[in-house]
Structure 1
Amino acid sequence: MTAICNVHERVIDAPVAAVGVLLDRLSAPNDPIFPAPAWPRMCLDGPLAVGADGGHGRIRYHVTAYEPGRRVRFDTPPGGGLRGYHELTVAPLDAEHCRVRHVLECEVRGLVRLQWTCAIRHIHDTMIEEIFDNIERAAADGVTRPTRWSPWVRLLHRLAWARPQASTRPAAAQLIRTSLDRTDYEDAYRMELLPGQPRDPAAWTGILRDAFPVLAQAGGELLLDVNTAGLTARASILIDERYVTLSTAVKADGLRARLYWGLVKRVHPFMARTMFRRTHRRLALAAPSAGERSRTASLGASTAGSPNAG
């Protein structure tokens, strides 16, 4: 068994009250500080309060202490290889400055000791510093030195990124459903739509790499003509409240098309999932940070409330 004490802190050029309200929105749908979508977002089974359960990614915990605007503590459940707590606090320094501090104290055992040394610690340190970055973005005038990922963290991030899940074609995908009079092959894959990722399906056409013609767009769905080598094929990109879904429909007319598809369909699922996953990750990394989204929303609200607005 190995005991770990990991501490991060930073002085923020903002009053404690301005930072405290950000802390109180942790895990909310408009969470301004947790570094999603680059990392799995924090989700709890209810509002931030003592007793709430949840986590981020595969890390699970529950809230054991909460002082609004000042402190929140999460304890890990018993029985895991990593047992302890992590705590985020905000303390005033003077009228215009405060200190944010994150403490992780835990015991690791078994294989988790190696995982902590090789991977978890590097990811944890990066995420905590990005939380501090977002606090500065949202409460102060921006970040002087944004956190930079090491090559090792980039590699870990790439390897751990979520993978598309096979699904049935959504009922809302009406364009592809009516695009062909018959189909010899259909499939669909979906991934969670993350905060900050584009809601316009046209932004996701990079999944297919080539510049295929757009046939139609309606109701959050984009239909593409992906005909090739005699195949009549369509691809649909559908955005709904929770997911982005890539659907394919193929009709093989003629001997050449059937022979070609007989070979290609063996690698098509792998290629579709690989390109989908790569685009999903690229758009997540290109999305505005939580702090930037919060600041933009605050500025928009201030402008809308101005007597001169409109």
Structure 2
Amino acid sequence: MAVIDNIHERILATGIAEAGALLDRLGAPGDPLWPSPTWIPMRFDRPLAVGADGGHGPVRYHVTAYEPGRRVEFTFHPRIGLTGTHTAEILPHGPGSCVLRHRLVATSTGKMRLLWPALVRVCHDTVVEHLLDNAEHAVTGTVARPVRYPWRARLAVATESVRLRAVPVPENARLLKAALPHPDLADAYAVRVPPGTSLDPQTWADAIFRNPPPAVTALLRLRNALVAPFGIDRGDASAFDTVARTDRELLLGTDAGHLDFRASILVEPDDDGTTITLSTHATARNRSGRGYLAVVGLFHPPIVRAMARRAARAAVAPRPQASRKVSATR
């Protein structure tokens, strides 16, 4: 059975003590190394110490060795299909510098025999290089050669870090419920994103409604062309103006001749991430409005889902640091 021996390292222009202080914060709140929110954060059931159990997303492991400021070893849970360890350590390199090294030594079992070469290896390499970029940026303020995300890593980020689902309109969407308490159309979609994304509902509203997918923009233009003969108002950007807000909820919408429309953006953070819920209420004013909702109700769910998913993926997309370019695995 082939042994995976995967090594990444970076020379850091700082002393061992400063680099070791970064290493000691792995998995802690405000972890400066782990590339979140692009990837699901590393989390443990206790502060970093031998016996601490956790991982990142579906990749589970526990701490089996720890030398504060110098070295931490994680042993994989066998159920993930890897038997072995991955280790991060600080090594001396000379005056005013040191090396941050990450090494994974393991054998693959079950499905992981196929998943490692097909997908997991490229994601692992990308995560670790991004982590090394963060270490370099923490000690120098720049990154000389940043990691570039291959398409398989971008696909994994979009799949694992952004989870969208249909939900009931939240009880905490109080602005929405007060504005249109008896809607003819009501739905809500929640997307879960890792910690580190914006907690400002206005930022999310702008991302969702001011930058929709091109297909949605085309559908809205088609809608405006089709509704005019039926006496229905043509929509414009003012339909998504903010009308009220609290610290965690933002309400936007408009009143038109055929219906009243409101949308709520509710931001609910916790220790493991943030839930962004986009809820819609619409109330018909007349027969045209009722007919319009009957048709729009068929297209509304996929359109809203596409808009929310696009905004969430943009929020977790890897952002280059200043002066970054690709760093090779050594």
TM tier, smaller: 0.7 to 0.9
Aligned partner letter, 1:183: P
> Could you tell me whether the CA contact under 8 Å between 1:50 and 1:63 is conserved in 2?
yes
For residue 126 of structure 1, what is the aligned residue in structure 2? 126
Give, in whole Å, the separation in 1 of the partners of 2:38 and 2:296.
Answer: 33
Give, in whole Å, the separation in 2 of the partners of 1:29 and 1:148.
Answer: 26
For residue 298 of structure 2, what is the aligned residue in structure 1? 266
Give, in whole Å, the separation in 2 of the partners of 1:227 and 1:286.
Answer: 38
Give, in whole Å, the separation in 2 of the partners of 1:120 and 1:4.
Answer: 12
Measured after TM superposition, the shift of residue 8 of structure 1 is 0.8
Q: Does 1:29 align with 2:57?
A: no
> Could you tell me whether the CA contact under 8 Å between 1:226 and 1:235 is conserved in 2?
no
Give, in whole Å, the separation in 1 of the partners of 2:256 and 2:149.
Answer: 40
Give, in whole Å, the separation in 2 of the partners of 1:229 and 1:110.
Answer: 61
For residue 140 of structure 2, what is the aligned residue in structure 1? 140
Aligned partner letter, 1:32: P
For residue 301 of structure 1, what is the aligned residue in structure 2? none
Q: Deviations over 1:220-239 (max 9, x none)?
A: 21111056783322101122
> Could you tell me whether the CA contact under 8 Å between 2:185 and 2:283 is conserved in 1?
yes
> Could you tell me whether the CA contact under 8 Å between 2:200 and 2:247 is conserved in 1?
no
Q: Secondary structure at the match of 2:281?
A: strand
Distance change in 2, residues 1:286/1:237 (3 Å): farther
Q: Does 1:62 align with 2:65?
A: no
For residue 84 of structure 2, what is the aligned residue in structure 1? 84
Unaligned runs of 5+ in 1: 290-310
Residue of structure 1 aligned with 2:243, choices 190, 215, 222? 215
How many equivalent residue pairs?
Answer: 289
Q: Secondary structure at the match of 2:308?
A: helix
Q: Secondary structure at the match of 1:195?
A: coil
Give, in whole Å, the separation in 2 of the partners of 1:156 and 1:244.
Answer: 20
For residue 48 of structure 1, what is the aligned residue in structure 2? 48
Give, in whole Å, the separation in 2 of the partners of 1:57 and 1:162.
Answer: 12
If the length of structure 1 is used for normalisation, what is the TM-score? 0.85
Q: Secondary structure at the match of 2:175?
A: helix
Measured after TM superposition, the shift of residue 80 of structure 1 is 3.4
Of 109-118 and 186-195, more deviation after overlay is shown by: 186-195
Q: Deviations over 1:213-255 (max 9, x none)?
A: 2111223211110567833221011223332221111212323
> Could you tell me whether the CA contact under 8 Å between 2:16 and 2:97 is conserved in 1?
yes
Give, in whole Å, the separation in 2 of the partners of 1:106 and 1:45.
Answer: 24
Q: Deviations over 1:195-222 (max 9, x none)?
A: 3322221111221337312111223211
Of 122-131 and 171-180, more deviation after overlay is shown by: 171-180
Query: Percent of counterpart pairs with the same letter?
Result: 42
Measured after TM superposition, the shift of residue 156 of structure 1 is 3.9
Residue of structure 2 aligned with 1:253, choices 280, 285, 297? 285
Give, in whole Å, the separation in 2 of the partners of 1:2 and 1:229.
Answer: 69
> Could you tell me whether the CA contact under 8 Å between 1:235 and 1:248 is conserved in 2?
yes
Unaligned runs of 5+ in 2: 213-235, 322-330
**RMSD over aligned Cα atoms:** 2.2
> Could you tell me whether the CA contact under 8 Å between 2:66 and 2:73 is conserved in 1?
yes
If the length of structure 2 is used for normalisation, what is the TM-score? 0.81
For residue 276 of structure 1, what is the aligned residue in structure 2? 308
